Amino acid sequence: MIAFTDLAFAHEKNRPVLRGATGRVPQGSTTILAGKNGEGKSTLLCLLAGILTPDAGDVRVGELRSPGQEDRIRRAVRLILQDPDMQILGATVSEDLMLSGDPRDPRFRAVAENAAARLGLTPQWDAPVHTLSFGQRRKLCLAAALVHPPDEPPPRILLLDEPLSNLDYPAVLEMRRILRANTAAGLTQIMAAHDLDPLADLADHVLVLHQGRIALEGPPADVLPRVRPFGVRPPYAEWEEEDEKK
């Protein structure tokens, strides 16, 4: 389970992003972290991944805690950024997938090849990354997140920042299939999103971030009908522009 209590964080002094955020993510759940743009969803994901350290409060990932054990949290949690080009470092698919280990180790190579196969990237194994489509580059980041040292267990927690943004319809369908497969494999997934339509039916838990705090938390059926006051459009809802002007 992931839990965070009274989290506070500011990128710049006197400009807090989180102001005492408290919430939890059940093990094995697929959770939506909802909120309008600028509410700090990406910052919260970075704190949960051990990339940032809270100014106050704490993060718990199983038995691990931050502050104090960020390095171990980073080995247990994988963060997939919204822009794949910020995360891809290798010149080819295979090189990118094997950057975290020894490519001469056949056991490690097998882990990387399995990750590529799982994400449907085997045909692109030797392809230069600049030849990949946006959707393929995002899949490459997901595949890289699943690569691990052969003597260590695979990561069980994925944090995805806007996983469906900038994807066309076929790519959205494929990414939804991948997210479902991850759920079936028992992975814990947190998906930051402001557009809930293409993700709502995949989730079994929802957090709503507003003004630096978790404003709503719980099952989708309880939370999603109540998100509009926090600047989030409920999934499948009409655009109530005239009502909002009143």
pLDDT digits 0-9 by tens, 56-110: 999 999 999 999 999 999 989 999 999 999 999 999 999 999 999 999 999 999 9
The one-letter code for the residue type at 195 is D
For residue 176, is it within any domain?
Answer: yes
Q: What is d(CA 213, CA 219) in angstroms, rounded to the nearest whole number?
A: 18
Does any domain span residue 10? yes
243 part of a folded domain: no
Task: Count CB-CB contacts under 10 A for residue 12.
Answer: 7
Better-scored residue on pLDDT, 194 or 60: 60
pLDDT band at 243 (very low <50, low <70, confident <90, very high): low
Residue 238 domain flag: no
Overall residue count recorded for the chain in this entry: 246
Count CB atoms within 10 A of the CB of residue 181: 12
pLDDT digits (tens, 9 = 90+) for 117-163: 999 999 999 999 999 999 999 999 999 999 998 988 888 999 999 99
CATH number of the domain at 71, please.
3.40.50.300
Q: How many domains, the chain?
A: 1
Contact by Cβ (8 Å): 44, 87: no
**φ, ψ for residue 68 (rounded to 5)?**
120, -40
Residue 237 belongs to some domain of the structure? no
List the one residue out of 46, 32, 39 whose CA is nearest residue 16.
Answer: 39
- What letter would DSSP give residue 123? G
pLDDT the model gives residue 236: 84
- The domain of 175 spans 2-232
- Interatomic CA distance for residues 207 and 213, integer angstroms: 10
- In a domain? residue 218: yes
pLDDT of residue 237: 80
Average pLDDT over residues 31-52: 96
In a domain, 245, yes or no: no
